[in-house]
Structure 1
Amino acid sequence: MKIAKKIKAGALQYVLVISVIIAIIIFAFISLVYLQQKMTIKHGFTKEAIANVQMSFEYLKQKNIDYNTETTLNFSEDENEKEYKTTTILKKHWGIFDLGVATSKVKNEFFQKVALLGTQNKKRDALYLKENNASLVLVGKTKITGTVSIPKQGVKTGNIAGVSYYGNQLIYGLEKTSSAQLPKIKNIEFLKDFIKNYYTESTTYFELEDGLKVHQSFKENTLLFEDVNPIQLRNINLNGNILIVSKQTITVQASAKLEDVILIAPKIIIEENTIGNFQVIATKQIKVKSNVNLHYPSALILLDQDKEVQKQAQNNIQNREINQIEIQENTDIRGILVYESENKQSNYDAQIKIAEKVQITGEVYCAKNTELQGTIYGSVFTNNFIIKKSGRVYVNHIYNGVINAKELPNQYAGLQINQFSNQVAKWVD
């Protein structure tokens, strides 16, 4: 005879609780595994999108694409993947530099990067002096290091006010013969049009005010402030995709913090002790006062559009304003200086004037006369050198100037000369 045993209700509840706990643990484990797999796939898509953007900029190094036209790239060999993988590259102008925008989407993962672009040349020359049927004359502590292209008359030593040349040799590098034309800047015609037609459909107006702080992404519309009157930039912080335009003068004071913006005016003055990273485009005059520090990649561009010799110049009136870029003492500029002129007449003024104790790391391009008493780590392209001392004008003389192409960093990307824009100069937002 079998005897039935009763199981206590508490024991059943205990078993049930244990079963539920086990089920929850199993469910949590399965969910975790699923989530990890999903995150792994998501992470893989994100990594692929980032890699595609990087490859897009590598593509730009090798290929010259049209401006303002989105180019679709395909880095996958599987035709079926094209349905959920798209990568595009867009190139636009931003002053003397270009702007590259690379975008990649893999499934639902999206990645985009924007960069200022310039031209990189690892075999950069120190000097290109246009053939002008005159020797290059070195005086004082002048020293030129790197390959040079100079007139067929060559280079020699000189004497100014009793000061001779102190170097052990004339050129510390290879000498070549230049031609009667300076190398052309490929996007100079765009700049000439840009200063007149800077407003586009993707431009939005804004107002300047004391204490203003604005960051405008290059993925958004360009912000524009323009005025027919002089503009004083002080106690403001402007960063990114911003244009400031005056029909007269723009003055940048040390209290203004500018990053990546462009300034356009006939005359632009950068006051003492200013620190920033921006582009300046003028048509009459650019004056950079002492102790200014402009970080890479900055640019000072003067597009002199006076086709006729000014009457003041013809009459030799004293204290007249000269269309020039003037860099005063103890200033450090990292980037580009350009003076371009439609006036073909000769003169005895300095169109780019670089004072003592000035250091420029980058490129100096002058379609007329350059006065060099400071130091340039990089390249100089010029029609002539000129110096005024002791009441006399010395043509094609360099007095205490230093040019050293070997001190320019290999990563430097600048003027579009002999090549198209292809190298990242700076990542921007």
Structure 2
Amino acid sequence: MLKAGALYFSIIVAFIIAVICASLIMLASHYRGSYLKEVRMARLSRNMDSGIAYVLAESENREQNSLALDLFGDQTDSVLIEQKHWGIFNLATVKSFVLSDTLKQVFLMGQETTSDAVAMYLSDEDRPLSVSGDTRITGNVEVPKAGMRKSYVDSRPYSGDQLVYGKISDSKRTLGGLESKWIKEIESELDFDPVRLFTLNGGDEQVSFFDAAKKFNVSGLSQLTAQLSGQVILYSDTTVKVSAMAKLDNTIIYAQSIVVADGFKGNCQLFARDSITVGNGVTLSYPSVLGLVSKEKMVDQAKVTLGKNNRFEGIIFSYEPRRSALQTLVSLGEQTTVQGEVYATGLLKLDKKVKVAGKVSCNRFIMQTPATLYENFLIDVVLNRKARNRMYLSSAIFTGVSENKKILRWEN
């Protein structure tokens, strides 16, 4: 007969074995769950990449809306794509999901510009373009048939070895133009009556791009001092004054006129009917936008004015529906640097020591000195297409822009 101690010992051993077996089963189940989760996440990630590639390959002419895709037709790999305009750029949200597991990304898109080597486009008004002083133009140019010439200004000749460090070709009577659907959308926003919106009472706002955009009326604010980030849109039927204390990141403002204080630093898209005035020492980082969309038969000249010692990265443009006697004016102050594009449906005023790393387009250049107003003169300015960052992306608002889209900026 077995002793009672042996039975007791057998029970303990059996219990230990049962615990070890149960632990192994739980561990195997845990690792299996982790493995399956990793497989699902890898699958979601691949589907996400497929959705992003689909968005980038789509035609720009497609309507902005939601689209659900079953990638392989087996009802297990679904992608939801939502697109809309954010200012003058395309904004896309891509969601990849399998049952309750979801991955999502949101990003701004821009148009590739590597094939555009033009540094300057000047409409043909039967006037030559004169260059003087330390002006340097690097890149291809399109100028009137009257051509280019060296000139003396303030007893100073042109100091360069050649007129253009690139190819010279003839321009047309008009600029390339802006896409009407984008202009109509901006005009609709500028004509929007903000009285129905909540007033921004000075509080800070951070709105994720995965959520709905927040819109505020700022018509009654003496100046804007808030910290705003993400999907925030401000409207005003009067003038918006942006203080140097304000912090704007991706914010859009639509107003009759906009004034940016000296020393302001931020990233924003500003659109106005009458004027946009930027002070001195202002830094607007990429991809900022200054857009002036004027109306017909305006009493005063619509204009975008940048002061001295500014750094701007992005797109500056002006637009008028029909050419008027007082054409729109874009003015860049002394020692201002632009990394991107300047497009003026009218006049472009470049003060001395202005540098544009990118492209400028206009109907006519003007230059003001204490004694004289010069037309189609460039004096001590630098236009360098090759100096623009190779990663720079433009907007589909420009006609003839490349159809190739790339991701401009990831959003949160």
Residue in structure 1 matched with residue 143 of structure 2 by the alignment: 150
Alignment pair present for 1:397 and 2:377: yes
Pairing partner for 2:4 from 8, 13, 16: 8
Structure 1 spans left out of the alignment, 5+ residues: 313-321
Deviations 1:250-274 (A, max 9, x none): 1111111111111111111111111
Alpha-carbon distance between aligned partners in 2 of 1:119 and 1:59, rounded to the nearest angstrom: 15
Residue in structure 1 matched with residue 131 of structure 2 by the alignment: 138
Amino acid at match of 1:261: T
Alignment pair present for 1:226 and 2:204: no
**Mapping of residues 153-168 of structure 1, within 5 Å:** 153-168=146-161
Distance 1:248 1:421, change over 3 A: farther
Residue in structure 2 matched with residue 267 of structure 1 by the alignment: 257
CA positional deviation for 1:16: 2.2
Residue in structure 2 matched with residue 315 of structure 1 by the alignment: none
Deviations 1:287-322 (A, max 9, x none): 1111111111110111121x2263x7xxxxxxxxx4
Residue in structure 2 matched with residue 351 of structure 1 by the alignment: 329
CA positional deviation for 1:230: 4.9
Distance 1:329 1:380, change over 3 A: same
Alignment pair present for 1:101 and 2:90: no
Alpha-carbon distance between aligned partners in 1 of 2:222 and 2:8, rounded to the nearest angstrom: 82
Amino acid at match of 2:2: K
The secondary structure found in structure 1 opposite 2:223 is: strand
Alignment pair present for 1:302 and 2:292: yes
Aligned-pair RMSD on alpha carbons?
2.2
Alpha-carbon distance between aligned partners in 2 of 1:42 and 1:198, rounded to the nearest angstrom: 49
**Mapping of residues 243-282 of structure 1, within 5 Å:** 243-282=233-272
The secondary structure found in structure 2 opposite 1:12 is: helix
The secondary structure found in structure 2 opposite 1:406 is: helix
Alignment pair present for 1:407 and 2:387: yes
CA positional deviation for 1:188: 2.3
Alignment pair present for 1:28 and 2:23: yes
CA positional deviation for 1:345: 2.3
Pairing partner for 1:237 from 218, 227, 250: 227
Deviations 1:64-101 (A, max 9, x none): 1633322234543xx32xx1221132220111112111
Pairing partner for 2:314 from 320, 330, 335: 335
CA positional deviation for 1:30: 2.2
Q: Tell whether the 8 Å contact from 2:276 to 2:290 is kept in structure 1 after alignment.
A: yes
Q: How many residues align?
A: 402
Distance 1:21 1:254, change over 3 A: farther
Residue in structure 2 matched with residue 38 of structure 1 by the alignment: 33
TM-score normalized by structure 2?
0.91
Alignment pair present for 1:326 and 2:291: no
Amino acid at match of 2:239: T
Alpha-carbon distance between aligned partners in 2 of 1:42 and 1:261, rounded to the nearest angstrom: 38
CA positional deviation for 1:427: 1.1
The secondary structure found in structure 1 opposite 2:188 is: helix
The secondary structure found in structure 2 opposite 1:43 is: helix
My pick for the range that moved more, 282-291 or 154-163, is 154-163
Residue in structure 2 matched with residue 86 of structure 1 by the alignment: 78
CA positional deviation for 1:104: 1.2
My pick for the range that moved more, 291-300 or 32-41, is 32-41
Residue in structure 2 matched with residue 289 of structure 1 by the alignment: 279
Alpha-carbon distance between aligned partners in 1 of 2:99 and 2:36, rounded to the nearest angstrom: 10
Pairing partner for 2:177 from 184, 194, 212: 184
Alpha-carbon distance between aligned partners in 2 of 1:225 and 1:206, rounded to the nearest angstrom: 5
The secondary structure found in structure 2 opposite 1:169 is: coil
Alignment pair present for 1:174 and 2:167: yes
Distance 1:55 1:126, change over 3 A: farther
Q: Tell whether the 8 Å contact from 1:60 to 1:423 is kept in structure 2 after alignment.
A: no
Alpha-carbon distance between aligned partners in 2 of 1:53 and 1:196, rounded to the nearest angstrom: 38
Distance 1:26 1:386, change over 3 A: same
Larger radius of gyration: 1
Q: Tell whether the 8 Å contact from 2:112 to 2:392 is kept in structure 1 after alignment.
A: yes
Alignment pair present for 1:126 and 2:126: no
CA positional deviation for 1:146: 1.1
Q: Tell whether the 8 Å contact from 2:189 to 2:254 is kept in structure 1 after alignment.
A: no
Alpha-carbon distance between aligned partners in 1 of 2:23 and 2:86, rounded to the nearest angstrom: 53
Alignment pair present for 1:384 and 2:364: yes
Residue in structure 2 matched with residue 117 of structure 1 by the alignment: 109
Amino acid at match of 1:264: Y
CA positional deviation for 1:206: 4.2
The secondary structure found in structure 1 opposite 2:363 is: strand
CA positional deviation for 1:428: 1.1
Deviations 1:178-199 (A, max 9, x none): 2122112222232122222488
Alpha-carbon distance between aligned partners in 2 of 1:224 and 1:327, rounded to the nearest angstrom: 27
Residue in structure 2 matched with residue 71 of structure 1 by the alignment: 67
Alpha-carbon distance between aligned partners in 1 of 2:70 and 2:358, rounded to the nearest angstrom: 37
Residue in structure 2 matched with residue 317 of structure 1 by the alignment: none
Alpha-carbon distance between aligned partners in 2 of 1:398 and 1:328, rounded to the nearest angstrom: 18
